[in-house]
Amino acid sequence: MRALNADLHCHSTVSDGLLAPAELVRRAHGNGVELLALTDHDEIGGLDEAAAAAQQLGLRFASGVEISVSWGDDQTVHIVGLGFDRNFVPLIEGLAHVRGGRDARAHRIAAELDKVGIHGAYEGALKYVGNPALISRSHFARYIVELRHAKDVKGVFDWWLAKGKPGYVAHPWASLEDALGWISGAGGIAVVAHPGRYRLSRAEMEGMLGAFKDLGGIGIEVLSGSHNEDHVRDYANMARRYGFLASRGSDFHGPGESWVDLGRLPDLPEDLTPVWTRLA
Protein backbone atom coordinates (compact mmCIF):
# COMPACT_ATOMS: atom_id res chain seq x y z
CA MET A 1 0.00 0.00 0.00
CA ARG A 2 1.26 3.47 -0.84
CA ALA A 3 2.25 5.38 2.31
CA LEU A 4 0.35 8.53 3.23
CA ASN A 5 2.33 11.73 2.63
CA ALA A 6 1.94 13.09 6.15
CA ASP A 7 3.99 16.05 7.38
CA LEU A 8 3.43 16.51 11.10
CA HIS A 9 6.02 19.15 11.97
CA CYS A 10 6.43 22.65 10.52
CA HIS A 11 6.47 26.33 11.48
CA SER A 12 4.72 29.52 10.39
CA THR A 13 5.28 33.23 11.09
CA VAL A 14 3.32 32.65 14.28
CA SER A 15 6.61 31.29 15.65
CA ASP A 16 9.91 31.24 13.74
CA GLY A 17 8.76 30.21 10.27
CA LEU A 18 8.89 32.45 7.22
CA LEU A 19 5.43 31.77 5.73
CA ALA A 20 2.03 32.75 7.13
CA PRO A 21 -0.11 29.77 8.17
CA ALA A 22 -2.32 29.84 5.05
CA GLU A 23 0.71 30.18 2.74
CA LEU A 24 2.35 27.24 4.45
CA VAL A 25 -0.77 25.13 3.93
CA ARG A 26 -0.90 26.04 0.24
CA ARG A 27 2.76 25.10 -0.19
CA ALA A 28 2.21 21.77 1.58
CA HIS A 29 -0.75 21.00 -0.65
CA GLY A 30 1.27 21.93 -3.74
CA ASN A 31 4.03 19.56 -2.59
CA GLY A 32 1.60 16.65 -2.37
CA VAL A 33 1.14 16.56 1.41
CA GLU A 34 -2.03 14.63 2.32
CA LEU A 35 -2.09 15.21 6.08
CA LEU A 36 -0.54 18.30 7.64
CA ALA A 37 -0.03 19.48 11.22
CA LEU A 38 1.22 23.01 11.93
CA THR A 39 3.45 22.85 15.01
CA ASP A 40 4.55 26.34 15.96
CA HIS A 41 6.80 26.69 19.00
CA ASP A 42 4.82 27.16 22.24
CA GLU A 43 1.91 28.75 20.35
CA ILE A 44 -1.32 27.57 18.72
CA GLY A 45 -2.45 30.96 17.37
CA GLY A 46 -1.94 29.94 13.74
CA LEU A 47 -4.13 26.84 13.82
CA ASP A 48 -7.46 28.45 12.94
CA GLU A 49 -6.03 30.16 9.84
CA ALA A 50 -4.21 27.00 8.78
CA ALA A 51 -7.26 24.77 9.36
CA ALA A 52 -9.47 27.09 7.31
CA ALA A 53 -6.97 27.16 4.43
CA ALA A 54 -6.64 23.37 4.56
CA GLN A 55 -10.40 22.92 4.51
CA GLN A 56 -10.68 25.08 1.38
CA LEU A 57 -8.14 22.86 -0.36
CA GLY A 58 -9.61 19.61 0.93
CA LEU A 59 -6.33 18.90 2.73
CA ARG A 60 -6.55 16.81 5.91
CA PHE A 61 -5.26 18.89 8.85
CA ALA A 62 -4.43 18.19 12.49
CA SER A 63 -3.83 20.70 15.27
CA GLY A 64 -0.23 20.76 16.43
CA VAL A 65 2.27 22.49 18.69
CA GLU A 66 5.95 22.05 19.53
CA ILE A 67 6.51 22.65 23.23
CA SER A 68 9.92 23.67 24.59
CA VAL A 69 10.78 21.49 27.59
CA SER A 70 13.68 21.63 30.02
CA TRP A 71 15.15 18.27 30.86
CA GLY A 72 17.97 17.27 33.20
CA ASP A 73 20.93 19.59 33.54
CA ASP A 74 20.09 22.50 31.18
CA GLN A 75 19.00 20.34 28.26
CA THR A 76 16.14 21.41 26.04
CA VAL A 77 13.93 18.85 24.33
CA HIS A 78 10.98 19.54 22.08
CA ILE A 79 7.68 17.71 22.45
CA VAL A 80 5.17 17.82 19.61
CA GLY A 81 1.49 17.64 20.51
CA LEU A 82 -0.96 16.53 17.80
CA GLY A 83 -4.71 16.26 17.36
CA PHE A 84 -5.71 18.09 20.56
CA ASP A 85 -8.67 20.34 21.35
CA ARG A 86 -7.34 23.83 20.79
CA ASN A 87 -9.82 25.34 23.25
CA PHE A 88 -8.51 23.37 26.24
CA VAL A 89 -7.79 26.11 28.78
CA PRO A 90 -4.86 24.51 30.69
CA LEU A 91 -3.04 24.05 27.35
CA ILE A 92 -3.71 27.64 26.32
CA GLU A 93 -2.60 28.98 29.71
CA GLY A 94 0.39 26.67 29.95
CA LEU A 95 1.70 27.74 26.55
CA ALA A 96 1.16 31.40 27.46
CA HIS A 97 3.31 30.83 30.51
CA VAL A 98 6.10 29.16 28.50
CA ARG A 99 6.05 32.01 25.97
CA GLY A 100 6.09 34.54 28.79
CA GLY A 101 9.76 33.93 29.50
CA ARG A 102 10.96 34.54 25.94
CA ASP A 103 11.19 38.32 25.97
CA ALA A 104 13.41 38.48 29.08
CA ARG A 105 15.53 35.66 27.64
CA ALA A 106 15.91 37.60 24.39
CA HIS A 107 17.22 40.61 26.32
CA ARG A 108 19.75 38.32 28.01
CA ILE A 109 20.82 36.84 24.69
CA ALA A 110 21.28 40.36 23.31
CA ALA A 111 23.36 41.37 26.35
CA GLU A 112 25.65 38.35 25.83
CA LEU A 113 25.99 39.09 22.11
CA ASP A 114 26.76 42.71 22.91
CA LYS A 115 29.78 41.58 24.96
CA VAL A 116 31.24 39.88 21.88
CA GLY A 117 30.67 42.82 19.60
CA ILE A 118 27.22 42.15 18.14
CA HIS A 119 25.33 45.26 19.14
CA GLY A 120 21.62 46.07 18.94
CA ALA A 121 20.69 42.41 18.55
CA TYR A 122 17.38 42.63 20.43
CA GLU A 123 16.07 45.34 18.13
CA GLY A 124 17.65 43.62 15.15
CA ALA A 125 16.00 40.30 15.92
CA LEU A 126 12.64 42.00 16.46
CA LYS A 127 12.64 43.14 12.84
CA TYR A 128 12.23 39.48 11.88
CA VAL A 129 9.61 38.60 14.47
CA GLY A 130 5.98 38.17 13.45
CA ASN A 131 4.68 37.50 16.96
CA PRO A 132 6.63 39.45 19.62
CA ALA A 133 5.86 36.88 22.33
CA LEU A 134 7.66 34.30 20.24
CA ILE A 135 11.04 35.94 19.79
CA SER A 136 13.43 33.04 19.26
CA ARG A 137 17.02 32.28 18.45
CA SER A 138 16.00 31.90 14.81
CA HIS A 139 15.17 35.63 14.70
CA PHE A 140 18.55 36.51 16.20
CA ALA A 141 20.13 34.22 13.63
CA ARG A 142 18.47 36.07 10.75
CA TYR A 143 19.74 39.40 12.09
CA ILE A 144 23.28 38.04 12.55
CA VAL A 145 23.23 36.81 8.93
CA GLU A 146 22.11 40.30 7.90
CA LEU A 147 25.20 41.66 9.70
CA ARG A 148 27.28 39.11 7.74
CA HIS A 149 28.77 37.55 10.86
CA ALA A 150 27.76 34.18 9.36
CA LYS A 151 26.75 33.10 5.90
CA ASP A 152 23.52 31.38 6.86
CA VAL A 153 21.27 30.64 9.82
CA LYS A 154 22.93 27.28 10.47
CA GLY A 155 26.33 28.98 10.63
CA VAL A 156 25.03 31.44 13.22
CA PHE A 157 24.03 28.59 15.51
CA ASP A 158 27.42 26.92 15.11
CA TRP A 159 29.31 30.09 16.00
CA TRP A 160 27.04 32.18 18.19
CA LEU A 161 23.82 30.66 19.46
CA ALA A 162 24.18 26.93 20.17
CA LYS A 163 24.82 25.76 23.71
CA GLY A 164 28.39 26.64 24.69
CA LYS A 165 28.56 29.58 22.25
CA PRO A 166 28.68 33.27 23.30
CA GLY A 167 24.99 34.09 22.70
CA TYR A 168 23.56 31.05 24.44
CA VAL A 169 21.75 31.56 27.73
CA ALA A 170 20.17 28.85 29.88
CA HIS A 171 16.43 29.15 30.21
CA PRO A 172 13.72 27.29 32.15
CA TRP A 173 11.05 25.99 29.75
CA ALA A 174 8.07 23.76 30.61
CA SER A 175 8.60 20.54 32.57
CA LEU A 176 8.09 17.28 30.69
CA GLU A 177 5.26 16.50 33.09
CA ASP A 178 3.43 19.75 32.39
CA ALA A 179 3.84 19.51 28.62
CA LEU A 180 2.47 15.97 28.52
CA GLY A 181 -0.29 16.87 30.94
CA TRP A 182 -1.48 19.73 28.72
CA ILE A 183 -1.37 17.64 25.54
CA SER A 184 -3.07 14.58 27.02
CA GLY A 185 -5.59 16.72 28.90
CA ALA A 186 -6.57 18.29 25.58
CA GLY A 187 -7.12 14.82 24.09
CA GLY A 188 -3.96 14.97 21.97
CA ILE A 189 -1.00 12.70 21.47
CA ALA A 190 2.58 13.55 22.47
CA VAL A 191 5.57 12.86 20.23
CA VAL A 192 9.30 13.37 20.88
CA ALA A 193 10.53 15.81 18.22
CA HIS A 194 13.79 15.20 16.29
CA PRO A 195 15.53 13.00 18.91
CA GLY A 196 18.67 12.96 16.77
CA ARG A 197 19.25 16.63 17.58
CA TYR A 198 19.70 16.25 21.33
CA ARG A 199 23.13 16.09 22.83
CA LEU A 200 22.18 13.38 25.30
CA SER A 201 24.27 10.34 26.09
CA ARG A 202 22.66 6.99 25.34
CA ALA A 203 21.74 6.60 29.03
CA GLU A 204 20.32 10.14 29.22
CA MET A 205 18.28 9.56 26.04
CA GLU A 206 16.88 6.34 27.46
CA GLY A 207 16.08 8.12 30.73
CA MET A 208 14.22 10.83 28.85
CA LEU A 209 12.31 8.37 26.64
CA GLY A 210 11.38 6.26 29.66
CA ALA A 211 10.06 9.29 31.54
CA PHE A 212 8.20 10.43 28.41
CA LYS A 213 6.54 7.03 28.11
CA ASP A 214 5.69 6.87 31.82
CA LEU A 215 3.99 10.27 31.49
CA GLY A 216 1.78 9.02 28.65
CA GLY A 217 3.91 9.91 25.59
CA ILE A 218 3.23 7.60 22.67
CA GLY A 219 5.23 8.75 19.65
CA ILE A 220 8.68 9.56 18.36
CA GLU A 221 9.79 11.32 15.18
CA VAL A 222 11.69 8.71 13.21
CA LEU A 223 11.71 10.80 10.05
CA SER A 224 12.67 14.44 10.55
CA GLY A 225 14.23 17.00 8.26
CA SER A 226 17.15 17.08 10.66
CA HIS A 227 17.73 13.30 10.78
CA ASN A 228 20.38 11.53 8.75
CA GLU A 229 20.17 7.84 7.83
CA ASP A 230 21.85 6.74 11.07
CA HIS A 231 19.30 8.70 13.10
CA VAL A 232 16.44 7.11 11.15
CA ARG A 233 17.81 3.63 11.86
CA ASP A 234 18.51 4.36 15.55
CA TYR A 235 15.14 5.96 16.28
CA ALA A 236 13.22 3.34 14.31
CA ASN A 237 14.87 0.86 16.68
CA MET A 238 13.90 2.98 19.69
CA ALA A 239 10.30 3.05 18.43
CA ARG A 240 10.34 -0.77 18.23
CA ARG A 241 11.91 -1.20 21.67
CA TYR A 242 9.67 1.27 23.49
CA GLY A 243 6.53 0.46 21.49
CA PHE A 244 6.26 4.05 20.25
CA LEU A 245 4.25 5.07 17.21
CA ALA A 246 6.42 6.66 14.53
CA SER A 247 6.07 10.20 13.23
CA ARG A 248 7.26 11.99 10.10
CA GLY A 249 7.82 15.73 9.96
CA SER A 250 9.96 18.03 7.85
CA ASP A 251 10.42 20.74 10.53
CA PHE A 252 10.12 23.15 7.61
CA HIS A 253 10.71 26.80 8.57
CA GLY A 254 10.82 28.46 5.17
CA PRO A 255 12.16 28.33 1.63
CA GLY A 256 15.94 28.32 1.67
CA GLU A 257 16.11 27.93 5.44
CA SER A 258 15.27 24.30 5.99
CA TRP A 259 16.79 20.89 5.56
CA VAL A 260 13.86 19.62 3.51
CA ASP A 261 10.72 21.07 2.02
CA LEU A 262 7.21 20.21 3.20
CA GLY A 263 6.29 16.59 2.55
CA ARG A 264 9.66 15.74 0.99
CA LEU A 265 10.74 12.92 3.28
CA PRO A 266 11.16 9.19 2.72
CA ASP A 267 8.46 6.77 3.87
CA LEU A 268 8.54 5.34 7.38
CA PRO A 269 9.93 1.80 7.74
CA GLU A 270 6.97 -0.44 6.92
CA ASP A 271 6.88 -2.37 10.19
CA LEU A 272 6.36 0.77 12.30
CA THR A 273 2.89 2.03 13.15
CA PRO A 274 2.47 5.66 12.10
CA VAL A 275 1.18 8.18 14.67
CA TRP A 276 -1.51 9.24 12.22
CA THR A 277 -3.36 5.97 12.82
CA ARG A 278 -4.36 7.73 16.06
CA LEU A 279 -5.44 11.00 14.47
CA ALA A 280 -9.09 11.50 13.58
Residue 43 or residue 49: which is nearer to ligand AMP going by CB? Answer: 43
Which residues in 61-100 contact Mn ion (CB under 5 A)? 66, 78
CB of 86 to ligand AMP, least distance (A): 21
Contact flag: residue 251 with Mn ion (CB under 5 A): yes
Residue 67 near residue 176 (C-beta atoms within 8 A): no
| Size of the chain in residues | 280
**CA separation for the pair 189, 276 (Å, rounded):** 10
**Strand pairing class (75-82; 6-7):** unpaired
When the beta carbons of 53 and 153 are compared against ligand AMP, the nearer one is: 153
Query: Which residue from 157, 182, 252, 276 is in contact with ligand AMP, where contact means CB under 6 A?
Result: 157
Determine if 276 is a binding residue for ligand AMP (CB under 6 A).
no
67: partner contacted, choices Mn ion, ligand AMP, none (Cβ within 5-8 A by kind)? none
By CB under 5 A, is residue 257 in contact with Mn ion? no
137 binds Mn ion (CB under 5 A): no
**25-30 CB contacts, 8 Å cutoff, 24+ apart:** 25/50, 25/53, 25/54, 25/57, 25/59, 25/61, 26/53, 26/57, 27/261, 27/262, 28/59, 28/262, 28/263, 29/54, 29/57, 29/59
Q: Looking at residues 230 to 259 of the shown chain, list those that interact with ligand AMP (rule: CB under 6 A).
A: 253
Nearer to Mn ion, 116 or 170 (CB): 170
Query: Quick one: 89 or 162, whose CB is closer to ligand AMP?
Result: 162
Handedness of CA 253, 256, 262, 267 (dihedral sign): negative
C-alpha angle 10/13/19, rounded to 5°?
70
By the rule CB under 6 A, 41 interacts with ligand AMP: yes
Kindly list the residues in this chain that would bind ligand AMP in the complex (CB under 6 A): 16, 41, 68, 136-138, 153-154, 157, 162, 253
